[in-house]
Amino acid sequence: MSSSEASLTGQALLDKIRDDFIGLNTAYKNARGEISPRIYLDSTASSLMLRPAYKVISDFMAHYSNTHSKLHHSAHISTAAYEWAHKRVLDFLGAPSDIYTCFFTGAGTTAGINRMARVFRDFNLDKKIAIISIMEHHSNDLPHRKHMHKVIHIPVEGLEESHMCISMTRLENTLKENKGNVNYVSITAVSNVTGIINPIHNIARLAHKYGALIMIDGAQSVAHLPTTMFHPDDPDACIDALVFSGHKTYTPGSPGVVVARKDLLLGIEPEEVGGGMVDRVLEDRYLVKTKFPDREEAGTPNIPGAIGLAATIEVLGRIGMELLMKAEDEVMVKALNEMAAIPELIVYGGTDHKACPRAASISFNIRGMDHGLVAAILNDYFNIAVRNQCFCAHPYVKEMMVKDLEKDFGAIDFGNMSPEFMRKAGMVRASFGLYSKQKDVEILISAIRQIIAEADDFAQYYVINEENDYQHVSFRPRHAEIFNIQSSLDQYLAEAND
């Protein structure tokens, strides 16, 4: 960051930063032979890189050293920067360091949830049940199925049915019915399918009321919403553990992050053992460090990634998450309202933003068109990058689509699905980030309208390939010519030679 950028905060920094992401100017040739800028609406999968974070990583590289080394200059610099990264994350999430620790693990949220499921299980071996919801990403579902004795999925139903929100009544009833046996509740703060925001503190209060712990999957929330884990005046609202992904927080290449209560971790030997987390190793025993976060981070960590992520978080913190949320909301709500007004579109989840607040993601289908065809046309003709299929959230997507699918296919055998069924069973997801603009929404809406108006014309140019995906009959961009590791390297080496 330049020194003038450093002095910016709030709206002024937001205005500057929104255009300061790597990849906003990426352009590709479309099926009409025109070169146009890519409209990146796949931020929920992975967000673009914040340029100041990239710069910090690049500056840091001159000093890179393993943090397990101790006494040379670079080791001091690396260690101090890495420590700062942990501290910055704790501050950002309102998690005081006397109660919580932060550790980096794996490449995203998945590793952290697996880890914490085992920690919670072992912390209270007598309580064998985990409660999750059906709106969870598989990464906040399968780890609990694997590591816990029993998992109960809370449905979306009742009054909230049309919104596809978690049924708080069912959650409370389930907690009540299983009182004494529920180890923890693990819920996403924001759905990666509908973008629906869950009331995590109300969920925490319920979990705690019935003696359970609370884990939050923050993969889709940390970059978009203000988060405060610790509430001294309302202890039941506190979050026991929260996990998120750096690559969804404007820092591709950065690790997954766990912020958890230290006391939960302390009684249990860390799952991963190795260098860096022990004080002493003898032939017949070893002494695990009591110092956090060292004891939780066996082996050499992803130091540059963590430092880049902390730089991003510093920038987000200087803008202020309330302001940032408001700015993103304007783009989201415009998209939601305009999409809800198109009769040929099915928009999944409640579309009244006040009754059913959302962040970042909108999933939809064009009636009568396969999700894969729509996603391919958006890419090939309009240069709009979206995701399609089921977004690693099969139970939730199924819940929202099952009635329509049964109309077309009759009773469904989910264990044996035909290729034709698979082409229908899914959605298109447009997802937004800090860099998304009103103009991007206008381009998306105009593209959707054009696809609806000219559906047959577009469809005639597509065939289904052996992977059951839609493929244009003649537009076959040579992606290896657009980016190629060897060419990139050769170009550098040639320039270095000049």
Helix boundaries (H) for 242-296: 262-266
Q: Rank residues 118 and 262 by Cβ distance to ligand PLP and give the closer one.
A: 118
Closest by CA position to 426, among listed 347, 467, 372, 497: 372
Q: Rank residues 140 and 302 by Cβ distance to ligand PLP and give the closer one.
A: 140
Q: Rank residues 110 and 383 by Cβ distance to ligand PLP and give the closer one.
A: 110
HEC sequence for 95-136: CCCCCEEEEEECCCHHHHHHHHHHHHHHHCCCCCEEEEECCC
Q: Rank residues 430 and 452 by Cβ distance to ligand PLP and give the closer one.
A: 430
Task: Tell me how far, at minimum, the Cβ of 437 lies from ligand PLP, in Å.
Answer: 23
Task: Tell me how far, at minimum, the Cβ of 108 lies from ligand PLP, in Å.
Answer: 2
Q: Rank residues 132 and 265 by Cβ distance to ligand PLP and give the closer one.
A: 132
Cα–Cα dist 94/261, whole Å: 12
Three-state DSSP class for residue 279? strand
Q: Rank residues 142 and 412 by Cβ distance to ligand PLP and give the closer one.
A: 142
Q: Rank residues 174 and 245 by Cβ distance to ligand PLP and give the closer one.
A: 245
Task: Tell me how far, at minimum, the Cβ of 434 lies from ligand PLP, in Å.
Answer: 17
Task: Tell me how far, at minimum, the Cβ of 247 lies from ligand PLP, in Å.
Answer: 6
- Measured at the CA of 73, the angle between CA 67 and CA 74, to 5 degrees, comes to 45
Nearest-10 crossing angle of helices 10-17, 321-340: 60
Task: Tell me how far, at minimum, the Cβ of 110 lies from ligand PLP, in Å.
Answer: 3
Q: Name the residues that contact ligand PLP, by CB under 6 A.
A: 108-110, 137, 139-140, 188, 192, 217, 219-220, 245, 247
Task: Tell me how far, at minimum, the Cβ of 355 lies from ligand PLP, in Å.
Answer: 22
Determine the residue with CB nearest ligand PLP: 108
Cα 390–chain centre separation: 15
Which residues have CB under 8 Å from 284's CB, separation 6+?
none
Closest by CA position to 183, among listed 211, 144, 153: 211
Q: Which amino acid makes up residue 234?
A: D
Task: Tell me how far, at minimum, the Cβ of 216 lies from ligand PLP, in Å.
Answer: 10
Closest by CA position to 45, among listed 429, 436, 440: 429
